[in-house]
Structures are given as structure tokens and as C-alpha cells.
Structure 1
């Protein structure tokens, strides 16, 4: 019973955020903060899609000091395109039925790639445990 509560709590917390990420880039003399919808790494470059104008941009990782990417933010267009932390209840979000769920649009559920990998790992362990438990129960 306790495992069920922990699993439900994990799924609720991981689905509490919405779609955007907060990207903070620290350069030698400035700091850039942006709302992004997608990011990827290729070689020594980081590609990200800006949430404001929906354009993909590239930045070289060797030209910056550090960066951080945090999930759980949304773009507030009413507040001059500010990137704000999600504090709404999950029931206040609308469902988007435009495409089937995959690893690229699971951010609508608040799942980053790391959260998705963790969810798959936990569900794989639970299903294999249930299979082995059922197999050894009848032996």
C-alpha cells in the first residue's frame, strides 16, 4: 500500500509542471534568461527553441561559462513574455489532442527526458517484479 502511495505521489509531482523550461546562460560578462520549449545537444553545441518566437537557435558550449535548464515553467504572454513557475492546479490545464504522445511532446505532462527515462525504468522494474513474483509463486 505504501508503494502505491509513493508511486502516485511521484506521478503527481512529475506531472505538475507544464510545457516550458527556464534556460539560464552565464557568459563571462552577462547572464541570459529565456523560456524555451525544446533543447538538444550535438557535439559542442546546444540547440534550443525559443518559446517567444518559436525559432531554433544554436549556442556553442565553449563560448559560455555555465548553463542551467529547469522544468516546470510557462510563458506568460500577458506579462511581457515572462517565464514563470507553474503554481496552478493540474485540473486547470487544457488537454491538447493534436498529436499522440511521444518523447517530444510529453512536456505537456511536465515530463522531461530524464523524468520519462525514470518513469520507464520504474515501470519496467515493477512489471518484471510482478512477473517474477507470479512465476515463483506457482513453483
Structure 2
């Protein structure tokens, strides 16, 4: 399985995935990374935060961007070079997140700059940024 090469990609190409974030997802992510921040795993403490309850890790949401890049656009064989991110709204347990990447620039015939963003089921942007990748050869 191989993703799209630079010659197969044009500015404006887009791809997305959607996932409903579960409590299990958050606990598995916390265990894998060691990020046991109470904002994510302790409902009683999280109620005292500005979010008034538990939220998913921002980087869990960002991981959905990685999934789009690695599996769809450009796809398998892509090398993820960098990411600029802003977390613009919390992701709550049960939210359905749609992560999208859109090609905005082709650099030197080797790299892509992509607008990366994610929205929840209410179309509220929860993550926004740009990625730089090297598509497969």
C-alpha cells in the first residue's frame, strides 16, 4: 500500500476522517503517554476547572491529523516533518471529531504544506494549524 506521490497531488486536495472520542480512548491515551492530568481522568477534579468536566487530551485530537496524513493524504509512506497547532476548543467525551487536511502549497517539488483542522459535531473548530510532510516517492 502506497500513498500519493507529489506528482499525483494538487493544491486544494483534501481528506478527512471522523471519530467519536470515548472515555476508553482518553484512558488508553493517558496510559500510553503517561499524561494523567486530572483534567482528563478525574471527573471530580475536572469539575473544578474552567471546562467543568473532563476533556480529551489535545494531542489525542492532533493524532487524528496524523491518521489522515499517514493513511489518506498523502497516505502510506508519508514522512511527517512538522506541525503547528492551536487548540481552540475542548473535546469532550462523546464528541465526534472530524479531522481534515488540505494541500495549500507544494514546496520545491518535494514537500507539502497542509492546512490541518478538526471540528466537532457542531462544526466548532477544536484544532487548527499547518503541517509539513514529504509524500512517498
Q: Report the TM-score, using the length of structure 1 for normalisation.
A: 0.22
Whose radius of gyration is greater, 1 or 2? 1
Bigger helix fraction:
1
Normalization by structure 2: what TM-score?
0.22
Tell me which of the two structures has the higher relative contact order, counting C-alpha pairs closer than 8 angstroms and 6 or more residues apart.
2
